[in-house]
Amino acid sequence: MAPAKATNAVRLLLGSTALWLSQLGVQTVSASKAVTAHLAAKWPETPLLLEASEFMAEESNEIFWQFLETVQELAIYKQTESDYSYYNLILKKAGQFLDNLHINLLKFAFSIRAYSPAIQMFQQIAADEPPPDGCNAFVVIHKKHTCKINEIKKLLKKAASRTRPYLFKGDHKFPTNKENLPVVILYAEMGTRAFSAFHKVLSEKAQNGEILYVLRHYIQKPSSRKMYLSGYGVELAIKSTEYKALDDTQVKTVTNTTVEDETEANEVQGFLFGKLKS
């Protein structure tokens, strides 16, 4: 009898387990029907390195240019490293100029892509120039464009006779004591070899007091991935189109007394005045 009772107990336990697993499976299937919403911007995904530079610029203009010197060709590693490794490499470079608190703020700015609109703003300004065909980077010297470094000296000779360009508040100016100088605006993607080549020449001229060097972000080949934004609420309104038959022949008349009772029963900022009165 004992073995038979044990067998029945095992069968009962297995049956209960199977029933519990079947119910769990139903719940899993029903839970998978949740609606997921993504909010994408109208512009493509922007490089994190450029966003990090905008974060540095908010700290100070000097930190921005110091950070720029350490990441002149950092984008080359993006081709061989994974996205996560490249992300950590940017944080490591930024850690040379920021404390732990600001590093955490930079991570948060990355997560919500807070500086992506600033990168897109410079991209739009570059598109209005417009950029020369086939140039990874180019300079504008008083409305004259070139993507050849050896033509900079030639364009600077008659720069004073041409109209001085308008500079925006968010432009990155190389630190200099003089302002009344020919303005050379570099449109390039920080971290690339094309940027590094132009920056070496322009920074040397700016240090010698020959030009006012201004940098604006420009991405020749924008990413094909969408720019997904976070930190925003998304509301999905679903309307039921099912027709329901209701019997409206018996309509109750609402008297003033009923309205008064309902008003007293209402909750006002956590207080039930109807109960307090009784």
pLDDT band at 13 (very low <50, low <70, confident <90, very high): very low
Note the pLDDT of residue 100.
95
* Sequence-separated (6 or more) residues with CB below 8 Å from residue 65: 172, 174, 175
Identity of the residue numbered 151: E
- Of 100, 101, 122, residue with least CA distance to 51: 122
Burial of 219 (0-12, 13-18, 19+ CB in 10 A): buried
Alpha carbon distance 126, 185 (integer Å):
10
Q: Where are the domains of the chain?
A: 40-228
Instruction: With beta carbons less than 8 A apart as the criterion, state whether 61 and 89 touch.
Output: no
Helices (H) and strands (E) in the chain, counts: 10, 9
Give the global pTM. Answer: 0.71
Stretch (H or E) spanning 70:
helix 61-70
Q: What is the pLDDT of residues 252-272, one digit of tens each?
A: 554 555 555 555 556 666 666
The DSSP 8-state label assigned to residue 233 in this structure reads -
Which of the listed ranges 64-78, 84-98, 222-236 does the model predict with the highest average pLDDT? Answer: 84-98
- Of 47, 64, 73, residue with least CA distance to 173: 64
Q: What is the pLDDT of residues 146-204, one digit of tens each?
A: 999 999 999 999 898 999 999 999 999 999 888 889 999 999 999 999 999 999 999 99
Q: Is the bond preceding 165 in cis, omega lying within 30 degrees of 0?
A: no
Rounded percentage of the chain residues whose pLDDT exceeds 90: 54
- List, in sequence order, every residue forming a beta bridge with 271; answer none if it has no partner: 268
Note the pLDDT of residue 189.
94
Q: Report the chain's mean pLDDT, rounded to a whole number.
A: 81
Tokens representing 261? Answer: 């009772």
